Chains A and B, each alone.
Chain A
Amino acid sequence: MAPGIGASGILGVALETVSGTYVAPTKFIPFESESLIYQQETIWRRPIRQSADVLGAVPGNVHTEGDIEMEALTDCLLYFLIAARHNINKTGAGPYTYVFTPNALAIPTRTLSVTTVRNGVVFGYTGVVVSSFTFTIDDGVLKFNVSCIGRDEAVQAAPTPTWPTSTPYGAGSYDIQIPTATSVYDCDGFEFTVEHNAEPQFRLKGGGQRGAQFVKFGENNVTASTERDFDSRAEYDTYKALTAQAITLEMEKSASESITLNLPVAIRDSYEIAIGGQGDLVRASTEYMGVMDATGKSYELTVVTSENVTLT
């Protein structure tokens, strides 16, 4: 096959009925980059037998991992949020409202099959879960990045994609509320990150099966950061006092398409004000730690979309 460029790439996902059993993609994701790899922990033999060289290789455990970077397309990111560690409450009859809140489960409730086509060659990743995800702003456009961990990989039939026609969130879509219900207009960037700290788990198996038996989640970390104009000590003082605030980052295109990121109890972890140069605006960089509220959640994501995903 001739050399190819990334432009011909395809990435598709499908929710698995049985975790680890491949399902051909039903949703194709326009993406900016991906780095999914097949990671095998080969054991290189070095017994002592009058030689200083490697004597051979023993098959080790395998799993898959990597990142996917994309525009935050409401109908597409939904699938990745479902494959993270979430309780999901779906309401409505179209458009649908999906509310995601964290839980403490060790094993994901839903996993994905992720299919990539690189220069015409098909890779089918199975048992994929989302270990962490980030919403961020890049040049005014909302981006969504995920880090995935999966159980195994095998070649699959080449899919023929049908692409969504949804568009990303840009200027004029944002409502930054610090604290919640108070819109601010001095913020030009934020990052909202959730880490579930997933790890592949290996068990002794036969039949040449080397893939992870399952993927477990670890501790949750929820952080957010903002870049704002600096004009008073008020927030700096709340940082020093470890005062908690609820913050909400809302992106809306219409009543039937929106994303809301909410930290009900956000405590400032750092607050930095610097004078960078004569011509530079004086700005404040704030990092928040999401802390569990009285109802047991450290964050809440609300996604409104016409995409109808069957959750059971």
Chain B
Amino acid sequence: MKLTVNYPNLPKGAEVQIGGIGNVKNGEEVELTDRQQVDFLAVHNKKVEDAFKGSKYVKVVGKTKQENVKAGEAATGDLPDTGDEQKEGES
């Protein structure tokens, strides 16, 4: 999976920080590691390709690997349950 940040308001090589991925240089394509894909899902609760779908300045090529999706979901599963998900009768 590859990600490219290309903001016209930033010079080439300027760094932006993406939660779960880290620092990325403007105008440079980066190959996302399995760990970055898992961490991104854990931070944003979305896959990288879905999070930047339609973005004018962040392009993603490829899809998050299924095993990384599962690992990311396991990480987000550590979050406390929401009230919406509580079953009737549970305290």
Tell me, in angstroms, the Cα distance from A163 to B65 when the chains sit together: 25
Please tell me the size bucket of the interface on B.
20 to 34
Q: Find the residue from A94, A161, A309 having the highest chain B CB count within 10 A.
A: A161
Interface assignment of A2: CB less than 8 Å from any CB of chain B:
yes
- Whether B16 lies near A165 (C-beta < 8 A) is yes
Residues of B within 8 A of A164 (CB): 16-17
Q: Which residues of chain A have C-beta atoms less than 8 A from B14's C-beta?
A: 165, 306
B7 touches A26 (CB 8 A): yes
Q: Which residues of B contact A160 (CB under 8 A)?
A: 18, 44, 46, 51-52, 55, 58
Quick check: is B15 within 8 A (CB to CB) of the other chain? Answer: yes
In the complex, B77 has a CB within 8 A of chain A:
no
A27 to B10, CA, bound (A): 10
Please determine whether B82 and A165 come into contact, CB atoms closer than 8 angstroms: no
A306 vs B13: C-alpha distance when bound (angstroms): 11
A308–B11 CB distance below 8 A = yes
Taking a contact as CB atoms under 8 Å apart, the answer to whether B82 and A1 are in contact is yes
Assuming the A-B contacts A160-B51, A165-B15, A165-B16, are A2 and B80 also in contact, with contact meaning beta carbons closer than 8 angstroms in the complex?
A: yes
Q: Is the CB of B83 within 8 A of A2?
A: yes
Given A26-B7, A308-B11, A310-B8, CB of A161 within 8 Å of CB of B19: yes
B84 at the interface (CB under 8 A from A): yes
The verdict on A307 contacting B9 (CB below 8 Å), with A2-B82, A160-B55 known, is yes
Instruction: Give the distance in Å from the alpha carbon of A116 to the alpha carbon of B61 in the complex.
Output: 28
Q: Is A165 in contact with B8, judged by CB distance below 8 angstroms?
A: no
Chain B residues within 8 Å of A308, by CB: 8-11
Q: How far is the CB of B21 from chain A (nearest CB, A)?
A: 9
- Show the binding face of A for B, using Cβ within 8 Å: 1-2, 26-27, 94, 160-165, 306-310
4 additional contacts (CB under 8 A) given A1-B83, A162-B17, A309-B9: A1-B82, A160-B58, A162-B7, A306-B14
* Residues of B bordering A, CB below 8 Å: 5, 7-11, 14-19, 23-24, 44, 46, 51-52, 55-58, 79-84
